[in-house]
C-alpha cells in the first residue's frame, strides 16, 4: 500500500499489507481477523456504472440488487449517456424505486453536464471527494463512502452509518446497545490510515458470525 495522503488499494496484496499494519495498530483485531478469514478486494471500475450499482444495492437484498442490475445491463452499456437516453417506460421495467430511478437519472445528467467527474474525483483527498459526491441529488454519505472505497480504492474510509458495521463492531467489542454512526466513527479513528481495511474486516466478521453477506455490492 502506498504511504501518502491518499493511499490506494489496488489488489489483494494491498489488503494483506494494510491488514498487517492494522493488526499492529490494534491487537484486539487479531482474534476478529481469525474468525473473519480472507478479506475480499471487491473493486469496481470508477465511473457512472460503479456509482449506479451502489445506488441500486442500497436497502435491498443481494438477490434483488443483482436482478435489477441484470435488467439495466441487458438494455446496453451502462454509461451516463446511454442511461440518460433511456425511455422512462424502459426504466420502469428495471424494478427501481422511484427515488433510485430519480437518483440515477439525475446522476447521468450530472456526469453529462460536467457537474461531476466520477473518474477525476477518485484522485483527490477523501474528505474533499466526499463533499463533492454528497452534493449530488440522492447521494448520501454511505453511498459516497462506498464509492470511494470500492471504486476509487481509498484506504482510509469508514462508513460509520452502515448498519452491518455497527452490528459487527458492537458484537466484536460487546458494546450494548450497538454503536451508532457517530460513536462508530469515533471508534474507527484509531484505525486510521487503514479504516477501509477495518471496514472490510468487520463486514467479513459479520458474514462469518451472522451467516449473512454484508459487503456492499459493487
Residue range 81-101, pLDDT digits in tens: 999 999 999 999 999 999 999
Report the Cα 60 to chain-centroid distance in Å. 14
Residue 216 has pLDDT above 90, yes or no: no
Contact (Cβ atoms closer than 8 angstroms) between residue 151 and residue 51: yes
CA distance 177 to 161: 15
Mean pLDDT of the chain: 92
pLDDT for 212 equals 66
Residue 49 has pLDDT above 60, yes or no: yes
pLDDT for 3 equals 44
pLDDT for 213 equals 65
Residue 9 has pLDDT above 50, yes or no: yes
Q: pTM for this one?
A: 0.91
Number of residues assigned to the chain: 218
Model pLDDT for residues 125-177, shown as the tens digit of each residue: 889 999 999 999 999 999 999 999 999 999 999 999 999 999 999 999 999 89
Higher pLDDT, 157 or 216: 157
pLDDT for 64 equals 92
pLDDT for 62 equals 85
Top-level CATH class of 48-150? Answer: mainly alpha
Domain with CATH 1.10.1670.40 in the chain: 14-41+156-210
Point out which residues pair with 154 in neighbouring strands: 8
- Counting other chains too, the contacts that 164-169 makes at CB distance below 8 Å and 24 or more residues apart are 164/202, 164/203, 164/206, 164/212, 164/214, 165/199, 165/202, 165/203, 165/206, 165/214, 167/206, 167/210, 168/202, 168/203, 168/205, 168/206, 168/209, 168/210, 168/214, 169/202
What share of the chain has pLDDT > 70, as a percent? 94
Nearest Cα to Cα of residue 141 among 128, 126, 151, 131 = 131
Selected from 2.60.120.260, 3.40.50.12780, 2.30.110.10, 1.10.1670.40, the CATH number assigned to the domain covering 14-41+156-210 reads 1.10.1670.40
Task: State the DSSP code for 216.
Answer: P
Rounded to a whole number, what is the largest CA-CA distance in the chain? Answer: 54
Domain with CATH 1.10.340.30 in the chain: 48-150
CA distance 199 to 47: 22
Helix (H, G, I), strand (E, B) or coil at 62: helix
pLDDT band at residue 4, thresholds of 50, 70 and 90?
Answer: very low
Q: Which residues of 110-130 are buried (b: 16+ CB within 10 A; e: fewer)?
A: bbbeeebebeebbebebeebb
Amino acid at each position: 500500500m502506498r504511504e501518502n495522503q491518499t493511499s490506494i488499494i489496488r489488489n489483494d496484496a494491498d489488503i494483506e499489507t494494510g491488514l498487517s499494519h492494522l493488526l499492529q495498530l490494534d491487537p484486539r483485531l487479531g482474534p476478529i481477523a481469525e474468525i473473519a478469514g480472507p478479506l475480499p478486494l471487491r473493486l469496481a471500475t470508477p465511473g457512472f456504472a460503479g456509482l449506479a450499482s451502489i445506488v441500486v444495492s442500497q436497502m435491498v437484498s443481494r438477490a434483488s440488487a443483482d436482478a435489477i442490475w441484470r435488467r439495466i445491463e441487458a438494455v446496453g452499456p451502462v454509461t451516463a449517456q446511454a442511461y440518460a437516453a433511456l425511455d422512462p417506460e424502459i426504466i420502469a421495467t428495471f424494478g427501481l424505486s422511484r427515488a433510485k430511478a430519480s437518483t440515477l437519472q439525475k446522476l447521468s445528467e450530472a456526469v453529462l453536464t460536467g457537474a461531476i467527474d466520477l473518474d477525476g474525483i477518485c484522485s483527490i483527498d477523501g474528505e474533499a471527494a466526499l463533499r463533492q459526491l454528497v452534493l449530488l441529488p440522492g447521494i448520501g454519505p454511505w453511498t459516497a463512502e462506498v464509492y470511494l472505497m470500492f471504486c476509487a480504492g481509498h484506504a482510509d474510509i469508514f462508513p460509520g452509518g452502515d448498519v452491518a458495521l455497527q452490528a459487527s463492531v458492537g458484537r466484536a467489542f460487546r458494546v450494548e446497545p450497538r454503536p451508532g454512526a457517530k460513536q462508530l466513527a469515533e471508534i474507527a479513528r484509531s484505525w486510521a490510515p487503514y479504516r477501509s481495511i477495518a471496514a472490510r474486516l468487520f463486514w467479513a466478521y459479520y458474514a462469518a458470525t451472522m451467516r449473512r453477506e454484508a459487503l456492499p455490492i459493487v
